Chain A
Amino acid sequence: MAEEEKKEMSGTGTLTGAALEAEDVLADAEPWEPIETKLVVWSLVVAVIALLIGLVVVPTSILH
């Protein structure tokens, strides 16, 4: 890819197109940590609570 085109692709941001290739954001995954389990589980718990409350409270839900 031509250097000019790279620059244009990045628009007018100061972060140039070259930076996109310079970084490997896909590699070096860290090991899974307990806090991540907590984050995932608690998000799902909130979803279930919101679902139950929502089904009861929202007048157009299938419970009504």
Chain B
Amino acid sequence: MMNIMMDMVIRHDGKNWVVENDKLTLSAPTIDGIDEKVRTFMRQNELVKKGDKSKVRMLFDNSTIPQWIRQYGQHYFNRVIEVEG
């Protein structure tokens, strides 16, 4: 069973990837940049302790995709990254 520490929503605004939840909003032009910011945030806020591992799930916000395309394909991606403390 996957142990998810934090759930976030991921979307793209045309220039940047944006991940957000109730507590924070982060954006970066690449997914690598997003992952780095998420990791930094979690470490700085001690959401993951040194030596521990935690998982962050990013659920794609389908409203990013124009509605006329959603009838063809209704899933872009969901992803999980591991964050080490």
By a beta-carbon cutoff of 8 Å, the part of chain A in contact with chain B is 10-16, 18-19, 22-23
Contact = CB atoms under 8 A, between A and B. Distances in A.
5 contacts: A11-B69, A12-B63, A12-B66, A13-B63, A18-B14
B69 to A, nearest CB: 7
Contacts, number: 34
A14 B13 contact: yes
A5 B67 CA distance: 15
B29 to A, nearest CB: 11
B55 interface: no
A19 B14 contact: yes
A52 B64 CA distance: 43
A21 B49 CA distance: 43
B65 interface: yes
Contacts of A16: 14
Nearest to B65: A13
Interface string B40-68: 00000000000000000000010111111
A40 B13 CA distance: 32
B14 A23 contact: yes
A50 to B, nearest CB: 24
A11 B61 CA distance: 15
A22 B14 contact: yes
B12 interface: yes
